Structure 1
Amino acid sequence: MSSEARTPAPPRNRANTRRSATDHLRRALMDLCDHRGQVLTHTEKAWASITFAGTRHRLALLFAGAEAVAAAERFIACLPDHEFAIPGQLVADAGIAEVDHRLMPAERMVVQCDLLLLEEG
């Protein structure tokens, strides 16, 4: 057994971990669907007009099982009017692009949503 003192690893400071607007968006969407959805795909594309800059996001979320599908239905109803709180960003538009609901062999729903985030400032 060594008598040398080991230098402990510095504690992980979560406050120093910088989250991107995309991270905040995903977390907000998961909160909105009661963490019942799983992100299948997420694409992000730069967007700009004469006066604004931002990003367009398209996500496909999978909801598997009856309880998850019920959460998806609430998500679909709430998304367009939801007030997002994403630091430095304004959600200018949020909507459902496509819904695929299957009952067999097990109930599942895939929801595609589109969001436009604009940089505040």
Structure 2
Amino acid sequence: MIHQTIRHDPATVLIRAVLSLARGDAELEEHRGTSWASATFTGMRHVMRLRFEDAQAVATAHWLVRTLPEHEFALSGHLVADIAITDRHCRSEGEPSMTLIIEALTVEAD
């Protein structure tokens, strides 16, 4: 029997949540996470780059741009304290595509 470890670190949980919200239309190209702490909280800063290829995926990306900042995430053991799309690049020649840069801060929930 093969046993698989289920990862519940904030990066994995957040990536899965964002990709789920993107309805399978996004590909994660990059994720960088760095530890973060304040006087009262500990957490992680995240930078993700998502790529959307084809017209349907680009429509999903536009929907995500409008929806993501107000979305309430349910992450096991963590809260999304802040999330924003900080950059986007569109290609309209040929098959449309869009790349989104998403920055987020997750903090440990007590």
Report the TM-score, using the length of structure 2 for normalisation. 0.93
Residue 109 of structure 1 corresponds to which residue in structure 2? 98
| Percent of paired sites with the same residue | 35
- In 2: Cα distance, 1:18 partner to 1:67 partner: 31
- In 2: Cα distance, 1:47 partner to 1:21 partner: 12
Q: CA deviation at 1:21?
A: 2.1
- In 2: Cα distance, 1:18 partner to 1:63 partner: 27
For the aligned residue pairs, the C-alpha RMSD in angstroms reads 1.1
Residue 109 of structure 2 corresponds to which residue in structure 1? 120
Query: Within 5 A, what are the aligned runs for 1:13-32?
Result: 17-19=5-7, 20-32=9-21
Deviations 1:83-106 (A, max 9, x none): 111111000001010010110132
Structure 1 counterpart of 2:87, one-letter code = E
Residues paired across the two proteins, number: 109
Structure 2 unaligned residues grouped into runs of 5+: none
Residue 80 of structure 2 corresponds to which residue in structure 1? 91
Structure 1 unaligned residues grouped into runs of 5+: 1-9
CA contact (8 A) 2:34 2:46 kept: yes
Deviations 1:24-61 (A, max 9, x none): 11110011111100011100011111111100000000
- In 1: Cα distance, 2:16 partner to 2:37 partner: 24
Query: Within 5 A, what are the aligned runs for 1:5-84?
Result: 10=1, 12=2, 17-19=5-7, 20-84=9-73
Q: CA deviation at 1:13?
A: 5.1
| Counterpart secondary structure, 2:101 | strand
CA contact (8 A) 2:10 2:44 kept: no
Residue 6 of structure 1 corresponds to which residue in structure 2? none
| Counterpart secondary structure, 2:75 | coil
Q: Comparing both structures, which one devotes a greater share of its residues to strand? A: 2
Stretches (4+) displaced over 3 A: none
